[in-house]
Amino acid sequence: MGSVRWAFRCGSWTPTRSEWLYAARCIQREEKERIGHFMFARDAKSAMAGRLLLRKFVCERIAVPWSEIQLARSPRGKPYLATTTHTPPLGREARRWSFNISHQGEYAVLAAEQGLQVGVDVMKTTMPGSSSVSDFFRIMTRQFTEYEWSVIQSSGSERQQLAAFYRHWALKESFIKAIGTGLGFNLQRAEFHLSPQPVTEDQVQRRTMMHLDEEEEDTWMFEESLLDADHHVAVALGLHRPPLAGQPRCPSPPPPTAFTHLTFSDLIAQATPLNEEDPAYWDSFQSKGEAPERQSRRTPPE
């Protein structure tokens, strides 16, 4: 069984002309066009990093040549590796990989696992843009159970409450991304009971438990860590199907894997161009503002 956890700090990435144009040449044409339509440079950089993370993973760990990788999306938006007429059939071990990406705040992240469903979400702890913390929480009331709100609002200072809020949010998002249900899932169905251990940058912990429809769920586990002081990341790991009678219900992956921070050079180390260079693509990127004045809670789909 294998595990991959990668993070790229796209928020501090200031691509040069050659970097941006080369990155655009190394992703599928439809993805390049989609990224080009983003209004803000922050979102374009995050989406580009996500595409490069996915292709790097498929190339390095599933051993599909970069030029033969064809990524597609499920009806709910979850990325998957599509088969094509010129791509050789994947071996059994390669087919057992599940992977997912997320980008929010300063980071784009990828989590992948062999033999388990996987979902990942990263959230940055930020103050609400134009409302008080209490008003912000009031707007979000339906997203959490009474128990979860009691934990969030008893966490201490407003900053600590926001950190607890985004920690819960990352956990919920990681789960719904793993099962691929999208925005139609009622988030109150999944209630999280947090580990008593503080989440830190130097250790990945797995002691948080989920109750699904008020029943403790033992076929899922959740990894939590910090990428830095402001960015919480959660990884959901679950069985692909219910276990047979007599089989253990809890998945048993190897010890938790910490996120490895990659550079742009790492992202393109095995990349090969798929398209011709498009100088106008750089001009379009240069004309974008970095980000909207008010930070959005949700980001465009990965």
pLDDT tens digits, one per residue of 1-10: 689 999 999 9
The whole-number average pLDDT for the span 144-173 is: 96
Res. 295: pLDDT tops 60: no
Res. 134: pLDDT tops 50: yes
Note the pLDDT of residue 253.
Answer: 66
Question: 258, 242, 259: which is closest to 250 by C-alpha?
Answer: 242
The whole-number average pLDDT for the span 207-218 is: 93
Res. 255: pLDDT tops 90: no
Res. 298: pLDDT tops 50: no
At 180, is the pLDDT very low, low, confident or very high (cuts 50, 70, 90)? confident
Percent of the chain with pLDDT over 70: 87
Question: 115, 129, 175, 125: which is closest to 152 by C-alpha?
Answer: 125
Answer yes or no: are the C-beta atoms of 77 and 177 closer than 8 Å: no
The model's pTM is 0.90
At 294, is the pLDDT very low, low, confident or very high (cuts 50, 70, 90)? low
Domains of the chain listed by start with CATH number: 1-98+105-111+256-302 (3.90.470.20), 117-252 (3.90.470.20)
Q: Which amino acid is at 58?
A: V
Tokens representing residue 114 in the block: 């062999």
Res. 302: pLDDT tops 90: no
The whole-number average pLDDT for the span 150-159 is: 95
87-130 tens-digit pLDDT: 556 666 677 899 999 999 999 999 999 999 999 999 999 988 77
Res. 69: pLDDT tops 70: yes
Max mean pLDDT range (95-99, 127-131, 198-202, 226-230): 226-230
